[in-house]
Amino acid sequence: MIELFACLGSGNSFKPWLALQQLGKPFKLCLVDVLNGQQKSPDFLAINPLGVVPFLVTSTGASIGESNAMLWYLAEDSPLMPTRAEERAQALQWMFFEQTKLEPFISPARFFTTLKPEERDLRASDIEIWQALAEPNLFRLDAHLESREFMLDSGYSLADIAIFGYVHVIAEAGLSLLDYPAISRWITAVEATKGFRPLAELSPAKIKAA
């Protein structure tokens, strides 16, 4: 069975988790306590020597790091993978955009604003810089989504999941969705896709109950 190593609250961990949910693939969720450094423990380094999550081990024992690489693997031969070569390239284009122009700024701004609020004041000027770096790229994304329902013309795909991971929680990074009407509309559309499960469900209480 697929094993997904993930941490709570992380947009990167949420991406493969959501794809697994939407594709109905059985998997074992293994939580790693990143706030307490478990990702650098000898036990976890033996699984992923890079010491980060998410990390995925396939049913044949192959290891896959990087959330968007996991999406690519999980989406293979599924409705989440576009059928045309042009669109598969566009999916990659947006997944690289997410990792270089959005995630590096939204993720730390959110971390120090919401996940570790005790450090918010100390990091206030960094948070402002991260927000300012994210904003033009969010406007670029908003312009792209103005004329389409999902990231690719053919419909909902792995590119939407990749972008959704952090963009749907920009309010937790101190940014306002009111500035991005097309993104706001797209978030509602993603949340209405079949089998969608929110980030809040990737929580210890829900996991115990499952």
- Could you list the residues that contact ligand GSH (CB under 6 A)? 7, 10, 12, 34, 39, 51-54, 66-67, 99
Q: Which is nearer to ligand GSH, 55 or 186 (CB)?
A: 55
Amino acid found at 83: T
| Least distance from ligand GSH to the Cβ atom of residue 125, Å | 22
Residue number, 33 or 153, with CB nearest to ligand GSH: 33
Q: Least distance in Å: CB of 169 to ligand GSH?
A: 12
Q: Which token pair is 17?
A: 């988790």
The whole-angstrom separation of Cα 161 and Cα 81 is: 11
Chain center to CA of 30: 17
CB-wise, 111 or 180, nearer to ligand GSH? Answer: 111
Structure tokens at 115: 């996940």
Distance between CA 177 and CA 120 in Å, rounded?
21
Minimum Å gap between C-beta 201 and ligand GSH is: 17
Q: In terms of CB distance, is 79 or 108 closer to ligand GSH?
A: 108
Residue 37 Cβ vs ligand GSH, minimum distance, rounded to whole Å: 7
Residue placing its CB nearer to ligand GSH in the complex, 14 or 186 = 14
Q: How far is the CB of 164 from ligand GSH (least distance, A)?
A: 13
Burial 40-79 (b: 16+ CB within 10 A, else e): eeeebeebbeebbbbbbbeeeeeebebbbebbbbbbeeee
